[in-house]
Structure 1
Amino acid sequence: MAKDKTSPRKHDVYMLVVEVGRKDGDGLPDGATGAGLVCYASGVDEAEAVRETVAVLKQADLNPLDVTGYGTRAEREAQGETIEEEDAALMQRAFDENAVIVVQMTPFFGDEDRG
């Protein structure tokens, strides 16, 4: 049986939204209770992308509390979402560099900011 060229586990890029809490040295603005981060993360599956993202954020002195996955570009487009050119370029960079890229950080200043 011929070896399938896709046998090595191919990675993809996943969109993740991460909620972080406060931690000394986290760099969040004074008065913030935490933040929401939009990340593009490379992984062979979403679970690996989440693990890598959490590890990178912890190295950056952030305190990840919750991660929500929104799927790959193909999955998002299949659901009717339009991917802007800038986001597509960032996703490609995450793929090319096998990296986690923080696209946006929104500080929370109280419970009314969440949900």
Structure 2
Amino acid sequence: MSDKPKRPHHVYTLLVEVGRKPGDGLPDGSSGAALMCYASGVDEEEAVRETVAILKQADMAVLEVSGYGSLEEREEEGHDIADDERALMARALDENSVVVAQTTVFREGDDREAGA
């Protein structure tokens, strides 16, 4: 048995882009989605690994993950973090889990790659 102290967990904000896969639960006619997630981990790499693993178990086709840092890092950068967002982050930390806070569905023909 190891007596090493447990490393503290933090909550990381991740944007996950998913494509289509049978059984993914996305609406008919959609080409994929972006999922805003809050994930607990000792570091961002662990939070990403756990998020990808959970989404794959849910039959989601993960294409790309972008990390926006921990709550502390976001605060240091001056991000405005609403109370409801903080509550979801606290839930992810308390449950040592991944919380999908928002889903934006992409439809065929969406012009998301081209700049505005």
Deviations 1:69-96 (A, max 9, x none): 0001111111111110000000000000
SS at match of 2:30: coil
Partner of 2:83: 85
Residue 113 in structure 1 maps to residue 112 in structure 2: yes
Contact in 2 for aligned 1:108/1:114 (Cα 8 Å): no
SS at match of 1:82: coil
Partner of 2:67: 69
Q: Pick from 97, 100, 111: which aligns with 2:98?
A: 100
SS at match of 1:30: coil
1:114 deviates by 4.5
1:113 deviates by 3.0
SS at match of 1:113: coil
- Kindly report which structure 2 residues correspond to 1:4-83, keeping only aligned pairs within 5 A, or say none: 7-83=5-81
User: Normalising by the residue count of structure 1, what TM-score does the alignment of the two structures yield?
Assistant: 0.91
Contact in 2 for aligned 1:22/1:63 (Cα 8 Å): yes
Counterpart-to-counterpart distance in 2, 1:8 and 1:51: 19
Overall identity of the aligned pairs, in %:
60
Cα RMSD of the aligned pairs, angstroms, is 1.6
| Number of residue-to-residue matches in the alignment | 111
SS at match of 2:74: helix
Unmatched tracts of structure 1, length 5 or more:
none
Unmatched tracts of structure 2, length 5 or more:
none
Counterpart-to-counterpart distance in 1, 2:62 and 2:113: 15
User: Normalising by the residue count of structure 2, what TM-score does the alignment of the two structures yield?
Assistant: 0.90
